[in-house]
């Protein structure tokens, strides 16, 4: 069956107001280009897929916004009402680094709707795999505290909707965004039926979450914090030595990836050294796990990634792998990033770090 690609142009019309990188404009902060969470990286990804022909091999779909009843399974009515009222007025900011313009509530509900529809279609057997180009992202959003550009918990909303529809019971979320998936973790921390795994740069964002010791009462949460400077080989080791064994132990009915590209070498908000090939290889490992554990059911939901020029190549590599396509967009920076990879001494040091994490999780 085909791979679905869930996208809606309206999600690219979400805006965040006057920022320069992550700093509000004013005082000594000169007006700049706005938040790094801009539509350009996503629009360029769509354009690249059209130019190479990859898009023609996908099942292209949009989706309706999630309903209030979908949101209430994750977010309290008090938060939704505040968000909607401010959105109906002229926009603003409720949490930390999560601003929005007028109409932001409806766009965020549409973004969550894309994730919900992608998970629903795969679980119903309409598609084997799917990619949701959700924007704004969702993995940082707590039930009543939006933060880190995230206004609604897209993946959590999708999981709860699938549960309510009786489509699945056991889920796994693998988050390879460079920032800790604190929102998804908080929502499912004590839920034995949802495995949440976050591979992230240690003490990047949020500063005070993401420690390996945070397991939850059910032991179904796993954090893999990595020191800055890790590259391709370390991430694949993390997948092979920790993530895949955790998935085998949990045996989910579907795997959902919080697919951020901000661990790429050129990202302004991360200090890792991944390439487009890294994201292709990690997607391949998730496909292998899905084939082994859950009848190939795999959904990637777009999260971070802020290099407008490089995110498209990373996304193209992941989606082509997801779709089993041989259409490529040759990485123009592959050689430069390969030359910047850590040396043997650093790799050995981080390998020891991963061995300690694997021992902690008893995998």
Cβ-contact 32, 21 below 8 angstroms:
yes
Nearest to 272 by CA among 226, 338, 333, 241: 226
Nearest to 112 by CA among 165, 71, 56, 72: 71
Q: How confident is the model at residue 185 (pLDDT cuts 50, 70, 90)?
A: very high
Counting DSSP H helices and E strands in the chain, the numbers are 12, 12
Q: Where do the H-state alpha helices sit in 73-126?
A: 77-89, 104-123
Query: Is the whole-model pTM more than 0.85?
Result: yes
Tokens of 102: 């007028």
Tokens of 25: 């404009």
Q: Where do the H-state alpha helices sit in the chain?
A: 40-52, 68-72, 77-89, 104-123, 154-164, 182-188, 232-238, 244-250, 276-293, 311-323, 334-339, 344-361
> What kind and span of H or E run contains 23?
strand 23-24
Q: Is 139 a catalytic residue?
A: no
Q: Give helix 311-323 / helix 40-52 axis angle, nearest 10°.
A: 50
Residues 260-291: tens digit of each pLDDT: 999 999 999 999 999 999 999 999 999 999 99
Cβ-proximal residues to 346 (8 Å cutoff; 6+ apart), any chain: 229
Q: How confident is the model at residue 92 (pLDDT cuts 50, 70, 90)?
A: very high
Q: Would you say residue 149 has pLDDT above 80?
A: yes
Cβ-contact 201, 245 below 8 angstroms:
no
C-alpha torsion angle, residues 186, 123, 37, 151 (rounded to 10) = -50
pLDDT at site 34: 86
> Average pLDDT for residues 59-78, to the nearest whole number?
98
Question: Of the residues 14, 97, 139, 140, which is catalytic?
Answer: 140
Cβ-contact 77, 84 below 8 angstroms:
no
């Amino acid at each position: 069956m085909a791979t679905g690609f869930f996208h809606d142009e309206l999600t690219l019309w979400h805006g965040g107001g006057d920022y320069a990188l992550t700093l509000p404009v004013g005082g000594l902060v000169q007006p700049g280009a706005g938040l790094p969470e801009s539509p350009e990286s996503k629009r360029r990804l769509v354009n690249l897929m059209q130019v190479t022909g990859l898009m023609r091999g996908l099942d292209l779909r949009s989706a309706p916004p999630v309903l209030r009843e979908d949101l209430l399974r994750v977010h309290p009515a008090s938060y939704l009402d505040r968000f909607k009222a401010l959105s109906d007025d002229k926009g603003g900011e409720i949490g930390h680094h999560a601003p929005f313009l007028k109409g932001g509530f409806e766009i965020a509900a549409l973004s969550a709707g894309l994730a919900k529809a992608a998970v629903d279609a795969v679980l119903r057997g309409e598609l084997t795999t799917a990619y949701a180009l959700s924007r704004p992202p969702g993995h940082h959003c707590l039930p009543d505290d939006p933060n880190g550009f995230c206004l609604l918990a897209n993946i959590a909303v999708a999981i709860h909707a699938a549960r309510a529809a009786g489509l699945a019971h056991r889920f796994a979320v693998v988050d390879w965004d460079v920032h800790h998936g604190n929102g998804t973790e908080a929502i499912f921390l004590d839920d034995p039926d949802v495995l949440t795994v976050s591979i992230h740069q240690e003490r990047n964002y949020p500063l005070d979450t993401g420690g390996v010791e945070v397991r939850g009462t059910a032991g179904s949460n796993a954090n893999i914090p990595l020191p800055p400077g890790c590259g391709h080989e370390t991430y694949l080791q993390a997948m092979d030595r920790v993530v895949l064994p955790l998935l085998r132990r949990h045996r989910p009915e579907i795997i959902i990836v919080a697919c951020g590209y901000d661990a790429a070498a050129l990202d302004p908000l991360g200090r890792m050294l991944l390439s487009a090939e890294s994201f292709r290889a990690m997607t391949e490992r998730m496909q292998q796990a899905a084939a082994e554990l859950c009848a190939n059911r795999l959904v990637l939901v777009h999260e971070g990634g802020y290099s407008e020029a490089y995110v498209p190549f990373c996304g193209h590599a992941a989606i082509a792998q997801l779709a089993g396509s041989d259409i490529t967009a040759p990485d123009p920076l592959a050689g430069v990033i390969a030359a910047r990879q850590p040396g043997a001494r650093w790799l050995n040091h981080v390998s020891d770090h991963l061995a300690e994490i694997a021992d902690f999780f008893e995998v």
